[in-house]
Every structure is written in C-alpha cells, then in structure tokens.
Structure 1
Amino acid sequence: MKISAANNFKYSNYGFYSSVKTKQSPSFSSLKLKNDENNYSDTCFYRDADTLDCAATLLEKTFPKGTDILDFASSNGEEAISLYSLIDKSNGKYKIYCFDTSDRAVELGKKGIYTVFYPMSYDYLLLPEFSMLDDSNTREIKSKFYSVMEETKKPSYEINDINYLCQLERSPYFKIKYYKLKDEHKDKIEINKGNINNIDKVLPNKKVGAVLFRNAMYIETGNFSANEFSFNEDLNINKKEIIEKIVDKVYEKLLPGGLFILGDIEKDHVYIADNHVNDKDKLFVSDYCTFIYKNSPLWEALSKDGRFEPVLYKNVDAPVILGKEQKVPTIWRKK
C-alpha cells in the first residue's frame, strides 16, 4: 500500500483530540439526535484540525480574492464552519455550500444552533471553562471559532440525544453551551440536501476552489473496514467504477489548483475487493481472511493522467490493515 512522496506541508495540529483520553465521541449524530436510518455522518468542530488548517492556507494562497467551496456529507455544518473560521477572509470572499443526504442533519443545520459540551465531546476545549488547559495552538483555534460564532440560548427544539445527555448531566463536571454564527457570517454557510454524485448540477457553469468529501467515500461504495467485513457486504458493487465517476466529476468542477479534501479513516482509502476485481489486483489479508484491492482505487483514480497531486499526508485514523505510522493523503490538488 505504498504511495509516492508528496510535498511536505507542516501545519500545527491544534491538539483538540490528542488531549482527550476518552473513547472517540463526536459531538453530533452519535451523541446528538440519533437517526442512523437517515444516514447521519459523525462530525464535530475542528475534527482533523490540521487537514482543515492546511486547506485554509492553500485556499488563501491559491484564491486570495476568494472562491466558492462545496462540502458534501457535511452533516449539520460543523465541518464547514470550522474550515470557514480558519480562512483569512480579510482580502477575499469565501462561501461554503454544504450538502448532506440526511433530512434531519440538513434541518438542524438550517436552524443553525450548535452545542459543545463536556464530557465526551472532542471539541469541549472550545468551552471558556477550560481556558486553563489552553496551549498556544488551542488559544489560536478558539480565537478563530469565536471570531465567527457567538453564544446563544438553548433552542426550543432538541439537538442532543436526550437519553445520552441525561447520563452526562449526572456528572458534576457537566458543561454545555449553545452557539450560532454571527449575523455577518450567516450567509457564508448554506446547507441543503444533496449528494456528491450530483456535483455537476450544483452551481451550474461555475467552478469552485475546493470540494470536501471527508470520511464518506466508503459510504458511497458500501466499503467496510477489514475487521467489520461480513457476508452482509454487497460484493457485486463495482467500487472502482463508482470512485472513478465521482473523481471525474470533482475534477471537472474544480478550478486549476483546486483542492479535493478527504478524510483520514482507513476504509476511505483501503477497499475490500469486490467481484469485479481480477485476481492479480487482489491482496489476501490472512488476519481477516479477506481480499482487498492491491492498490487503492481512490488513489489510482486521483493519480490517473497526473490530474491530481497529493499535498498533505496524515497518519491513518483507526488503522486495521495499515500500520499506525502509515500515512494517507487527505488533500489532493488539481494540476
């Protein structure tokens, strides 16, 4: 699963997640209103902050006067708000259009109120009560957050999973605050229902500076992690074909120098072999008694004809087949 070296971009990891010792628990979906049948995608503010920070810096340099950005599988918009806050907007106009397949996620995103709580939320360091734990990177990211967000009252509708929240409230250390975008930034984040397969129909006749599709390609392809694989997986799905069609559409939608921003979970990069893969293109993983694609179909599609180049690598999150030191490309740039 080797990949060629790319330019080394060194950006600070703000440490929101490395400092948390609890089980990974995003602040939306699994801990807020549960509705798996509506395909919620887990998210929280500044998840994988260094990828978002790198993307913000590249967007500022490549499109200093501003650009439109598309965020697919955006859930309720926390990811888009995080990226938007990191971009220096003093000289350019940037707008992020968010799309998700979940009616409920889109509904909550349109209402525009978000929670940050403690414990069990990875973005809890945004709360003012934890300022004594701040290092310089955390202070910087909190400054970015509060530059676009402001505290607000608890809404009349439910955001959180009530049963789970009731358990958290028993803790003497429980904290929760509600936030919304400041008025001057509200029109810079737009949330609607949509799917990346229809990217060519979004903003017709207009190209964009970045497309985000983080930790979601495995959903489009029905891919499992090797340790999740079971006979429930549909091996008749042609994963390579699906990926190639998406990558082709993303390429056509991006401006030259535009970014395709991916996630860092393994099953977005390592694929269980389906029935369309030739034997010579499979690799048997004895520990899990399953075959995988010898070469990542996602990386192959992006590298095809030199259309994209990887510009940022991250250690893979929750590795199963890849070693914990193995890096995966999370940002690709259109040449």
Structure 2
Amino acid sequence: MNLSIYHNYNTQKPSFSSLSKYSPINKEDKTTATKSYCNDTYFFRQPNQFEIMRTHLKNNFPNGTHILDYGCSDGEETYSIAMVIEDINKKEKTPLYTITGHDPSTEIIEMANKGKYKVDSWFTPDSFLSKNEPTDSIQLNSYQESFHKHFKPTGEVEKDVEVYNNIFANQISYKVNKEDFNGVVDFVGGPIEGNIDQIDKIYENKAKPGVIVFRNAWYHILENKTNSSPLGKEEIKNLKTVLKKINNTLDDNGILIVGALGRDHLLKEFKEREGIIDQSPFHKALYECNFVPLKNSAEHPIIDGRISDNIKVYTIWKKVSPKKNKLPKIFDFLNKKPLL
C-alpha cells in the first residue's frame, strides 16, 4: 500500500523528553514523559503492519485471540488496531479478538480511558482524518470512514499549534464512542502492569495472546544505548531476556510486531547498504529467541527522523519451534567476520 508522505515522514520521534501534544501534563509532572514508552502518537501510523496482522489473525486464529499493545501511550494505536480488524471481529455475544493497551505511565492510561484526542489539520501521519472527505487512497478512505464512525468532534479547535519545527496546524478534538468498543478494548498501566519486562508475570496464568505489539520503543529496553553497535554483553542479555519472556507468553504461531524504527533495528553500520537487512544484533537476538520474520512485513526503516529509501527491515516476527528455527548466515560487515 502506497501511503502519502504524511504517513511516512516523521512517523516516530525517538526522543521522549516531552509530550508535545499534551503540554499540560508535561508541565505538571515532567516525570510523566519518562514513564511513557513514546511521546507523540497518531492514529493509523505505519498501518501496513496492522493489515498484515489482520491477515495473520484470519489465517491462524480464526476462532479468536487476545492482542497485547505495549507502549500504547494514550490509546491511538490501540484503537487503530481495533478499527483495522473490525470487519473480522464481528460478534454475537462476545468479540473474537480483544485488545489490551499497556503503558508504564498511569497518567497516560488515564488519558487513554478518557478517549479524547487531537488530530492535526495537516502534515502529521493522521492529518487525513481531520477532513471527512475522500482522499486519493482507497485504504485511507476506509480508515477515515471507520474513524468518523467511532470518533465525533467535540467542537474544540486549537488554531496555529506548532506540530513540528516551525510547522503549524489547527488541532481538532475528537471523542471516542466507548460503547462501540465495549468488550474489545481496555487499558492498563503502571510500572508492573504496563511494563513489557513484566509480561511473563502478568500473563502467566492467562490465555496466551496471538499478537504482541511493541513498536518503535525497543531502545527503552536497551536503556537508550542502541545508537552504537555492536551492543555490549549486558545490553544483549537484557534484550534476549525480554524476547524470551515475549516468546514464552505468545501462543503458537503468534507474532511480535516490532515496528520500523531504525534505532531499534541497530542499523548504524548498514545505512549505506541496499536491500533487506536482518543481520544486526537486534535481528540476531530475535532469531536466537526463536522468532523468524514474516517476509511480507519488510518496510523502509525510519533513520534519524526520515524514511530510508535504500534498505528495508522486517517489522513483524513469528514465534516458531526451536526445531524449526534455522538461523541464517549472519555476517558482521564492520569487522569482516561471521556473527554465527
């Protein structure tokens, strides 16, 4: 699916030093930003990943499953998932697919539960939602129709808000109709319930989920040390510990959506290459923890705030049996020696 530049440019701001869309919280409690996995979130960001997830659910979990959305922030991503799979989630008494949004910040989860959002009139990834009129994309029109079905304008409009460096737009407020998502979407937060590092404890005695989403936030797990490569032994150990917990939590044939943030994929030494990259220490850890990539999930990564045109990375990884997991030949191009 070919999306407009507004769905590609600046789709994730790696820094989480501020919550620019929610300045009142940032002023009152500066620690809020450091508790949350990401700052600015948008509806239908990098939606190809959710379209692939939708197909995977139909083919592998036709009778339903649970979806965990970690780093959900204020809920825009969680509701986006719900809208993308709405047509396969038809229910009689209970829905086939349920989604729980997790975030370490209880303040952010409170905002998610309120269900009030601001959509920029232009430039940002979900600005196409600010107008209830057709675009030149069938897929975007579908998202737009679904959004306006479930979210209604409150009548509040903030004019000339800086949405990026010296770029200004109007911000239109919308409120979700929560009844539309009863039994489908819920949110939990806090240092334990919202932390993906605690996933094994939270879901130890619960049904295994078919999908775990943790997109564009892996650098938090690695304590912001992913700008340099290769990682140290301690960082690799931390990464693999979390990946093993995720793998043990996932159902058979379950998938992990990691996103396309170049910083997470440790692409520093691969910037000038071409083709699909699955050879960084991050990818090596995924393979070693019994994940293999879904080949149709390759996307251009976001490096230094821009989309890379010359390389792609796999954004979705599937849980496999150790016996079926054949590690690829991975080569350290920096030191000219095999990694495996």
Aligned to 2:210: 209
Written as runs of structure 1 = structure 2, the 5 A alignment for 1:184-263 is 184-193=180-189, 194-205=194-205, 206-224=207-225, 226=227, 238-263=234-259
Partner of residue 309 from structure 2, selected from 324, 327, 335: 324
For CA contacts below 8 A with separation 6 or more, give which structure has more relative contact order.
1
Shift of 1:145: 2.7
1:39 paired with 2:36, answer yes
Contact between 1:95 and 1:188, CA under 8 Å: does it hold in 2?
Answer: yes
Distance in structure 1 (CA, Å) of the matches to 2:79 and 2:63? 19
Partner of residue 127 from structure 2, selected from 124, 144, 147: 124
Deviations 1:50-101 (A, max 9, x none): 1111112211221112111111111011111111111121265111111111
Written as runs of structure 1 = structure 2, the 5 A alignment for 1:48-67 is 48-67=46-65
Written as runs of structure 1 = structure 2, the 5 A alignment for 1:1-335 is 12-13=1-2, 15=3, 17-19=4-6, 29-33=19-23, 34=26, 35=30, 36-39=33-36, 41=38, 42-87=40-85, 88-90=88-90, 93-129=96-132, 131-147=133-149, 149-153=150-154, 166=161, 174=170, 176-193=172-189, 194-205=194-205, 206-224=207-225, 226=227, 238-270=234-266, 295-304=279-288, 307-311=290-294, 312-318=297-303, 324-335=309-320
Shift of 1:182: 4.1
Quickly say closer, same or farther: Cα 1:284–1:177, change in 2 above 3 A: closer
Instruction: Output the amino acid matched with 1:309.
Output: V
Shift of 1:121: 3.0
Which sits farther off after the overlay, 132-141 or 238-247? 132-141
Shift of 1:331: 0.3
Q: Which runs of 5+ in 2 are unaligned?
A: 272-277, 321-340
Contact between 1:25 and 1:122, CA under 8 Å: does it hold in 2?
Answer: no
Shift of 1:143: 2.5
Paired residue secondary structure (1:133): coil
Paired residue secondary structure (2:21): coil
The normalised TM-score by structure 2 is 0.73
Quickly say closer, same or farther: Cα 1:271–1:221, change in 2 above 3 A: farther
Aligned to 1:275: none
Quickly say closer, same or farther: Cα 1:167–1:199, change in 2 above 3 A: closer
Distance in structure 1 (CA, Å) of the matches to 2:42 and 2:204? 30
The normalised TM-score by structure 1 is 0.73
Q: Which runs of 4+ in 1 moved over 6 A?
A: none
Shift of 1:295: 4.9
Contact between 2:266 and 2:280, CA under 8 Å: does it hold in 1?
Answer: yes
Paired residues in the alignment total 287
Q: Which runs of 5+ in 1 are unaligned?
A: 1-11, 230-234, 273-282, 286-293
